[in-house]
Amino acid sequence: MEIRIPYGKETIGAQLPQENLMGVYHPVKYTGNRDEGELIDAALDCPLMGPDLKTLAAGKNDIVVITSDHTRPLPSQLTMPRILRRLREGNPQAQITILVATGCHRAMTQEEKVARFGAQIAQNERFVMHNAFDEDQMVALGNLPSGGELKVNRVAAQADLLIAEGFIEPHFFAGFSGGRKAVLPGIASAQSVRYNHNAAFIDSPLARAGVLEGNPIHRDMLWAAKACKLQFILNVVLDADKKVIHAVAGEPERAHFSGCAFAARHAMLPKFRADVVISSNGGYPLDQNAYQAVKGMTTAAQCCKDGGVVILAAQCSDGHGGQAFYEALRDAKSPEELLSRIREVPAERTPPDQWQYQILCKILTRCQVILVSDLPREMVEDMKLTWQPNLQAAVDYALQKMGPQAQVAVVPDGVSAIAL
């Protein structure tokens, strides 16, 4: 039988013997009867626990809207015009700045801005690209509950009104994306991000997809959003086709929690463990690099038996995605050796990308990971991953390794699912 999974802006396939297939596992499909615009409008017009945008904008001269960068599938061509219209209805004279929450990623190109927001907004609105490594952009807001200093972009900290748009999906160590993540890591300094993503937090059993309560990373993020005076969010939940199926708006903590509850109901997979797990990073834009692909690997590995094989398809059109990430893996003797060194690093000295290669090393101590991508073989193997030229070759290799009775599970989109 043929299996197909997302890859870039298309799909790729492979043949798998029927007797080896344990199952194809998708998040629960949601079928609504309202179009995307109606869902967004309804959320904005009936916000949770607070005034609407028109009311909030009255009398505010300096308004900042935090938005996601090019690595996130947020449908800003639908969301941003609705936000801007309501803000200007409340205060036509307000100066509005769109602050792109890059976290520690690179800045968006003009072409990426047009693709995300549409030409009219990309060319006519005031944009600021957050740069986590530019201390001149930052202002200190105190210490996080974990002890690290919180610095955020001063454009946000000095706003009369700070709001954010985003989307909610399972996140492999923050529980869920969206909400408070617009501030930390979105517009925080690199040092604040590194402290929040320290080795002890990443090792916490509560720092995983679907978990907010007791999650130390979430706790810091929530505190940061409040310290920055984030007053309003619009967050959406997307289906496998990147279409809006749910929207929440209003007071950040309450609206985000409501959206997470919806996402959780539709993201949970049944509990299973397979010899081989085939998955993807959900296709474009989340599979643009190997750094992001660790998210899909995490879900797949949680569904895989110890000693099994994970096959992860991610196009990686943007390369490895992080020089520090790549070099740490390349220079390590083994995943075990690197993991041992990571766990000796104090929180305040967390280096760039450590959290991502820490998670990958934890996966690699349990199972083999085959990366099907457009990356050169040497780069893939430098990252302690197994290279195969295509999905069929990867499937054939895994079956040969695990034997003729191997049970294979397919999780087409590892990013949008929560493994039990």
Examine the pLDDT at 266 and tell me if it is beyond 80.
yes
Q: How confident is the model at residue 29 (pLDDT cuts 50, 70, 90)?
A: confident
| Mean pLDDT to the nearest integer, 208-222 | 98
Q: How confident is the model at residue 240 (pLDDT cuts 50, 70, 90)?
A: confident
Domain boundaries for CATH 3.40.50.11440 within the chain: 36-266
Q: How confident is the model at residue 320 (pLDDT cuts 50, 70, 90)?
A: very high
| Mean pLDDT to the nearest integer, 287-294 | 97
pTM of the predicted protein model: 0.93
Q: What is the pLDDT of residues 343-389, one digit of tens each?
A: 999 999 999 999 999 999 999 999 999 999 999 999 999 999 999 99
Examine the pLDDT at 142 and tell me if it is beyond 90.
yes
Q: How confident is the model at residue 189 (pLDDT cuts 50, 70, 90)?
A: very high
| Mean pLDDT to the nearest integer, 316-345 | 97
Examine the pLDDT at 32 and tell me if it is beyond 90.
no
Q: How confident is the model at residue 323 (pLDDT cuts 50, 70, 90)?
A: very high
Distance CA 27, CA 32 (A): 15
Examine the pLDDT at 403 and tell me if it is beyond 80.
yes
At residue 33, the pLDDT reads 76
Task: Report the catalytic residues.
Answer: 105, 171
Examine the pLDDT at 286 and tell me if it is beyond 80.
yes
At residue 28, the pLDDT reads 80
At residue 105, the pLDDT reads 87
Domain boundaries for CATH 3.90.226.30 within the chain: 2-27+268-411
DSSP 199-224: HHHHH-TTSSTT--TT-HHHHHHHHH
What percent of the chain shows pLDDT beyond 90?
Answer: 95
CATH architecture of the domain 2-27+268-411 equals: Alpha-Beta Complex (3.90)
Q: Which CATH number fits domain 36-266: 3.40.250.10, 3.40.50.11440, 3.40.50.10540, 3.40.50.720?
A: 3.40.50.11440
Distance CA 369, CA 311 (A): 6
Distance CA 45, CA 48 (A): 10
Max CA-CA distance within the chain? 70
What percent of the chain shows pLDDT beyond 70?
Answer: 100
DSSP 12-77: EEEE--GGGEEEE--PPP---SS-HHHHHHHHHHS-BSS--HHHHHTT-SEEEEEEE-TTS---HH
Q: How many residues does the chain have?
A: 420
